[in-house]
């Protein structure tokens, strides 16, 4: 059976509640879920515009998050500021190449991949492309699942500040970069939550319909 022959939820006039998952018969006008009373919507409202706004804000804040020091370490004799990248280099030089790779992947590679993936999803949907719909849906699930690992640097700084408590001998303080980085992670997570993956299939169906006509 081809994809065109499969009846969709829109064809059957049903919609799932985004709060409790109850499948309800959708009628004209504003209706609520019969189970929990939540207002029902076929698609997330203003999904593309909200995703664009959150993604662009995250991309802008990603610059100071990498340029500003994320952690300041000090002792009786010296002090040193470390950005995310300089922290990776320092770990590598000290022989902790495994930690350096983990921090690099979680704090630099993952955010960049999330930016690229969300850009691909947004542009392809807005251009109405019927292109690798299943692959794009899987890409969305992937960025949704790996987003939490970007908080690794924030957790590391928090643990170091709590553990290094010998104020007279050594000190670890969070830098301004950690605030920007935490905001970037939250914004990218909100952007992926704002994006409605069902739009991938909607635009693909429209594109196929125009192609058939």
Domain boundaries, the chain: 1-42, 46-212
Q: Which residues of the chain have pLDDT under 50?
A: 1-3
pLDDT tens digits for 32-55?
A: 888 888 877 777 788 899 999 999
pLDDT the model gives residue 34: 80
pLDDT the model gives residue 28: 58
pLDDT the model gives residue 59: 95
- Contact between 64 and 180 (Cβ < 8 Å): yes
Architecture of domain 46-212: Up-down Bundle (1.20)
pLDDT the model gives residue 51: 95
pLDDT the model gives residue 36: 86
Which secondary structure element, helix H or strand E, spans residue 50, and what is its range? Answer: helix 47-67
The phi, psi pair for 130, rounded to 5°, reads -95, 75
SS3 21: coil
pLDDT the model gives residue 101: 82
Which secondary structure element, helix H or strand E, spans residue 1, and what is its range? Answer: none
pLDDT the model gives residue 160: 57
Distance CA 204, CA 118 (A): 17
pLDDT the model gives residue 168: 54
pLDDT the model gives residue 77: 64
pLDDT the model gives residue 3: 45
pLDDT tens digits for 144-162?
A: 887 666 666 666 666 655 6
**Residues ≥6 apart with Cβ < 8 Å to 185:** 111, 147, 150, 151, 154
- Contact between 10 and 42 (Cβ < 8 Å): yes
> What are the residues facing 75 on neighbouring strands?
170
pTM of the model as a whole: 0.77
Counting beta carbons within 10 angstroms of the beta carbon of residue 179, is it exposed (0 to 12), middle (13 to 18) or buried (19 or more)? middle
pLDDT the model gives residue 61: 95
- Please give the C-alpha separations between residue 86 and each of 39, 93, 122, 155, 184, in angstroms, as whole numbers: 48, 10, 33, 17, 19
């Amino acid at each position: 059976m081809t994809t065109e022959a499969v009846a969709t939820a829109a064809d059957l006039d049903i919609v799932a509640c985004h709060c409790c998952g109850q499948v309800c018969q959708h009628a004209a006008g504003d209706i609520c879920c019969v189970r929990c009373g939540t207002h029902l919507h076929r698609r997330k409202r203003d999904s593309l515009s909200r995703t664009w706004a959150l993604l662009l804000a995250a991309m802008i804040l990603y610059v100071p998050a990498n340029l500003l020091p994320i952690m300041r370490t000090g002792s009786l004799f010296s002090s040193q500021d470390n950005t995310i990248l300089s922290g990776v280099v320092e770990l590598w030089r000290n022989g902790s190449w495994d930690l350096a790779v983990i921090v690099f992947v979680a704090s630099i590679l993952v955010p960049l991949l999330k930016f690229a993936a969300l850009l691909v999803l947004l542009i392809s949907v807005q251009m109405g492309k019927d292109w690798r719909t299943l692959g794009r849906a899987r890409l969305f699930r992937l960025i949704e699942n790996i987003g939490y690992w970007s908080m690794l640097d924030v957790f590391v700084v928090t643990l170091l500040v709590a553990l290094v408590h010998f104020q007279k001998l050594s000190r670890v303080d969070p830098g301004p970069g950690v605030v920007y980085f935490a905001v970037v992670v939250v914004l990218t997570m909100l952007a992926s939550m704002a994006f409605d993956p069902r739009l991938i299939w909607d635009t693909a169906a429209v594109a196929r319909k125009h192609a058939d006509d």
